[in-house]
Structure 1
Amino acid sequence: MKTLETKDHIVFLVYFVIIAVYGYWVYRRKKSASASSKDYFLAEGSLTWWAIGASLIASNISAEQFIGMSGSGFKMGLAIATYEWMAAATLIIVAVFFIPVYLKNKIYTMPQFLNQRYNSTVSMIMAVFWLLLYVVVNLTSILYLGALAINSISGIDTNLCMLGLAVFALVITLGGMKVIGYTDVIQVFFLILGGLVTTYLALNMVSEHYGSSGVLNGFNLMTKNAGEHFHMIFEKDNPNYMDLPGLTVLIGGMWIVNLNYWGCNQYITQRALGADLKTARSGILFAAFLKMLMPVIVVLPGIAAYLLYKEGAFQSEMLQGGEVNPDRAYPVLLNLLPAGLKGLSFAALTAAVVASLAGKANSIATIFTLDIYKKVFNTGADEKKQVLVGKITVVVAMALAFCIAPHLGIDKKGGFQYIQEYTGFVSPGIFAMFILGFFWKRTTSNAALFATIGGFALSVFFKVLPLFADLSFLSPFGFSKDNGSGVYEIPFLDRMGFVFIICVVAMYIISMLESKKSTKEEIVETDETVYGDETIAIAEDGTAIKALKKSQGLEVDTTMFKTTTGFAVGALIICGLLVALYTVFW
């Protein structure tokens, strides 16, 4: 039943009051520092490790996970959990290798990193791109899918849901990153508690259906009666192979998806950029542990719904337009919850959506204010002016998302697939540009430009390639599959892998050609001359004798990557859990 009872409203009201009061308290407590742009955008030096970790998860988990990933659990099973579990491993890599570079070089935004490492052209192109992506793809999808999900369990009009979510997120966002970070701790508490309650009742439903009781019995019955839904690695004949192509999830494109998202994404890295290295790493490690828990919350309910559906339960509820819609699995389960608990799950879903909206809006404001407004429109803007512009940007971005979200057909594509499809066209090039910028000091600005523009062009090329070329010869290697109409397509994750490799090779060639050209330039007068991205040392006779590795103002050394014993132990525990999970559910 798509209604909330009095107990549900009370539970939700308690959640709302706690968030509002705590957020206001944090805002008032830190109001004296609110005029600082770094404090507003980054909560510089204010977030604890547990606040950073909770904020990372709260910003990441939203309606596309609760609804879309549960739907994927219904459709393809536990394999979709690879997005969450591989993210845990990725977070460790980001904490060890990425965050130290950002913090050492006082990087506050991703465009700033590109400007410092390459040049202002690369930086401005990516700043504009990220703003468009965050507003048109991410903010709109989070808002619209969240509204649809809430409508499905409350019956409240979708537009009214969108308005309520947008206003709720605005109130939190306008308080700055400090308010976002600390309220995210409570958001994550409700998110996890409500999610676990839903999982508990879903597994218990499975037990009761088979005349048993208890969640452990429910899980065992699921593995026994829906064993095909408990394989992490798909064979080529699996109908879902195009979505998760075999070993690619372990050694291929899945790494690009996750490393780009967690390491090169303003929306995510911003949570740690205002802390010291030890605090940032501890927070990211905490987030990695929470990531290990996410499939229990968002995937297992979908598998439970699949088994119950297979056994004849809620046949009509899963239909949409005469066909089974996997994305209805989670809302159907929520509507079966008793009063009070349904309100808790409703609060959990709202928390996930609002936290993601607030985090995304803050990142939009940060990039626009620091990387566009201050550099192009008002180079002399003081701290107070920057904070004001940031707040205005938040309101404008949310208003734009509210207006355009219903017209993008997000619900027809499937939320999770919608976001992955559009961000995946640029992820390989961006990641190539970042990874070489970090660890190969000869990478040039022109090479970075190729990755930015050429990476997108290559992604489009591989997408349309099957329309005019027969790719069946790749099928024996697992790199293409018949889509059912005789056309052999390249799986999405494999396309990303191919584009990434091409971008890296092309960037290497471009950089080496430019480096070779620089060494041939005529050198006069100075003992050391800068050519593009290379510094050339000059011998006494005026000849170039050595190319010194120099990254335009970017400091990187191996000592930055050393970790504490506690972090190393935590990282090993996560790696051990991943090995065990993939071994058991291979």
Structure 2
Amino acid sequence: MTLHPLDMALVAIYAVGIVSIAWWVSREKKGHKKDAGDYFLAGQSLPWWAIGASLIAANISAEQIIGMSGSGYVVGLAIASYEWMAALTLIVVGKYFLPIFLERKIYTMPQFLEQRYDHRVRSVMAIFWLGVYVFVNLTAVLWLGALAIHTITGLGLFYGMALLAGFSIAYSLYGGLKAVAMTDIIQVVLLVIGGLFLTYTVLNTVSGGTGAFNGFVTLMDRLPEKFDMILEAGHSHYDDLPGLSVLIGGLWVINLSYWGFNQYIIQRALAAKSLPEAQKGIVFAAFLKLLMPLIIVVPGIAAVLLAPDLDIADGAYPTMLNMMPVGIKGLIFAALVAAIVSSVASMTNSVSTIFTMDLYAHRRPNQSQRHYVIVGRLVSVVALMVAMATAQPLLGQFDQAFQYVQEFTGFFTPGIVTLFVLGMFWKRATAGGALATAIGSAAFSVALKLFWPTLPFMDRVGVVFLLCMLVAVTFSFLGAIPSREKVVDLEGISFKTTAGFNLSTLAVVVILVAFYAAWW
């Protein structure tokens, strides 16, 4: 299947427009050359709306749109817990983590680990994050994005990945984080409007043309099993979403790691004008997260009725997209491409930031700022080439890539959360305890997977988190007390938030309670 010329023209106009805007916002003022702060942290000048939009644009990619819609096709609305619980997690990050990070004036998450522990911890975690971003996140986004392009246009998978990588480079390589963040507001608007229209169209089709609301009611009537938010033991997909663990268990560990300590996500907040501006951006992103399942998961559920014989579940969203009329299909396809390339650009920028600032600059500390920017750009290109080369071998055999990504990263997230939470809020935590935790997280996860294979991965994450806490505390008590320079002085940090932030928190909680009460 190929796109109509009108659809192709709309996508081309969008691509040219985004690249032009990115270069315009990234232009250098007369007499000023980009330094590392400009390139990696946008000169710490981002407003709240750019932060919130960029958080969502970095997060919502092929992994979410294609992968989560595929999980909606197989599992149902329960997969939306990743999105809805993320909204509450963002509030926690904005209130308790951001004040510490911004007070410490850091570029990267590994940098904080060196400030709090030592350079060994920084290097180990920097290498780990580089591996995950390139071989898990980038490969997943490129592969699933290419799969969507192939389904819609017939373009070969490798050429689809090359197209996405080239587009990402064209608009982000020169300007860095500022180019990514300032264009993300356009990306998110296109994603939300296009996604809502697609959802409306498929629901209207389900209802036989009597409206989207009737289509949603029809889905609940004909597919009631797809609207169970909390899966009971014995459910065929209980291993993916084990009951109450999505509310009070391992999903919290996964979300805290992703939204609080994940470089390509939190980097937007680190680039804020101020802490209140960053917190407003966090709240904006939280409300957008509440909306995402309507755009992503519901079309996947509708595909059960409209395309019941799909070869693979991850084909659900592209198949629904192919139902759109000429012109509208081009706009929604552009929205899909927008989400994908924004995430690719965000990930490559973070890979370049971690490599340059955490590994390279340590070995070559006396280079010019311009030199570090050039190194960062080269690293971005190399990361994309490696991800393209390894995407098919790593992901080609999986039916639901979203669950694969969660399973793999779940080996390490318990240790990451332990390192940061104890590092921020427990003065006795030591570098020895941190290293033991980092190693123990992977070791415990592999051991439990091998010797307790029936334990759902989300529960495994929760168990490993508790074991990591035990290891960190034990090794810390066995080691020397950290110096005053290493610990975080919480007395000098204010966790007080504005009335607007507090009211938004209440609104998020009320909406979440209503959602889970309706589809328990």
TM-score between both structures, scaled by the size of structure 1: 0.86
C-alpha spacing 1:112/1:464, structure 2 compared with 1 (3 Å): same
Q: CA deviation at 1:64?
A: 1.6
Q: Which amino acid aligns with 2:410?
A: G
2:292 maps to 294
Q: Which amino acid aligns with 1:200?
A: Y
- What is the CA–CA distance in structure 1 between the aligned matches of 2:2 and 2:372, rounded to whole Å? 44
Q: State the secondary structure of the residue aligned to 2:206.
A: helix
C-alpha spacing 1:258/1:87, structure 2 compared with 1 (3 Å): same
Q: Does the aligned pair in 2 maintain the 1:199–1:301 contact within 8 Å? A: yes
Q: Does the aligned pair in 1 maintain the 2:191–2:335 contact within 8 Å? A: yes
2:275 maps to 277
TM-score between both structures, scaled by the size of structure 2: 0.97
Q: Does the aligned pair in 1 maintain the 2:57–2:187 contact within 8 Å? A: yes
- What is the CA–CA distance in structure 2 between the aligned matches of 1:134 and 1:33, rounded to whole Å? 32
Quick check: 1:445 aligned with 2:431? yes
Deviations 1:63-113 (A, max 9, x none): 121111111111111100000000000000000011110000111101100
- What is the CA–CA distance in structure 1 between the aligned matches of 2:234 and 2:157, rounded to whole Å? 39
Q: Does the aligned pair in 1 maintain the 2:103–2:493 contact within 8 Å? A: no
- What is the CA–CA distance in structure 1 between the aligned matches of 2:428 and 2:248, rounded to whole Å? 27
Quick check: 1:456 aligned with 2:442? yes
1:129 maps to 128
- What is the CA–CA distance in structure 2 between the aligned matches of 1:19 and 1:86, rounded to whole Å? 31
Q: State the secondary structure of the residue aligned to 1:271.
A: helix
Q: Which amino acid aligns with 1:499?
A: V
- What is the CA–CA distance in structure 1 between the aligned matches of 2:329 and 2:129, rounded to whole Å? 37
Q: CA deviation at 1:385?
A: 0.9
Q: Aligned runs of 1:146-161 on 2, under 5 Å? A: 146-161=145-160
Q: Which amino acid aligns with 2:478?
A: L
C-alpha spacing 1:249/1:437, structure 2 compared with 1 (3 Å): same
Quick check: 1:238 aligned with 2:224? no
- What is the CA–CA distance in structure 2 between the aligned matches of 1:506 and 1:454, rounded to whole Å? 8
> Which residue among 510, 513, 519 is the counterpart of 1:579?
513
Higher gyration radius (CA): 1
Q: Aligned runs of 1:191-270 on 2, under 5 Å? A: 191-208=191-208, 213-270=210-267
Q: CA deviation at 1:159?
A: 1.5
Question: Unaligned 5+ residue runs, structure 1?
Answer: 309-313, 467-487, 519-531, 535-549
> Which residue among 489, 493, 518 is the counterpart of 1:555?
489
Q: State the secondary structure of the residue aligned to 2:494.
A: helix
1:540 maps to none
Q: Which amino acid aligns with 1:554?
A: V
Q: Does the aligned pair in 2 maintain the 1:173–1:361 contact within 8 Å? A: no
Q: CA deviation at 1:411?
A: 4.7
1:76 maps to 75
> Which residue among 303, 306, 314 is the counterpart of 1:305?
303
Q: Does the aligned pair in 2 maintain the 1:111–1:124 contact within 8 Å? A: yes
My pick for the range that moved more, 390-399 or 557-566, is 557-566
Q: Aligned runs of 1:344-363 on 2, under 5 Å? A: 344-363=331-350
Q: State the secondary structure of the residue aligned to 1:272.
A: helix
Q: Which amino acid aligns with 1:432?
A: T
2:190 maps to 190
C-alpha spacing 1:558/1:233, structure 2 compared with 1 (3 Å): farther
Q: CA deviation at 1:490?
A: 0.1
Q: Aligned runs of 1:37-116 on 2, under 5 Å? A: 37-116=36-115
1:499 maps to 464
RMSD value, Cα: 1.5
Q: Does the aligned pair in 2 maintain the 1:145–1:411 contact within 8 Å? A: no
- What is the CA–CA distance in structure 1 between the aligned matches of 2:276 and 2:229, rounded to whole Å? 34
- What is the CA–CA distance in structure 2 between the aligned matches of 1:293 and 1:189, rounded to whole Å? 13
- What is the CA–CA distance in structure 2 between the aligned matches of 1:355 and 1:288, rounded to whole Å? 18
Q: Does the aligned pair in 2 maintain the 1:410–1:418 contact within 8 Å? A: no
Q: State the secondary structure of the residue aligned to 1:490.
A: coil
Deviations 1:170-206 (A, max 9, x none): 1222121111101111111111121111101110011
Q: Does the aligned pair in 2 maintain the 1:361–1:398 contact within 8 Å? A: yes
- What is the CA–CA distance in structure 2 between the aligned matches of 1:32 and 1:269, rounded to whole Å? 31
Runs of 4 or more, structure 1, over 4 Å off, are 29-34
Q: How many residues align?
A: 518
Q: State the secondary structure of the residue aligned to 1:533.
A: coil
1:335 maps to 322
Deviations 1:288-347 (A, max 9, x none): 111001000000101111133xxxxx455x1x2xxxx22221111111111111111211
Q: Which amino acid aligns with 1:436?
A: L
Say which structure, 1 or 2, has more relative contact order (CA 8 Å, 6+ apart): 2
Identity %: 50
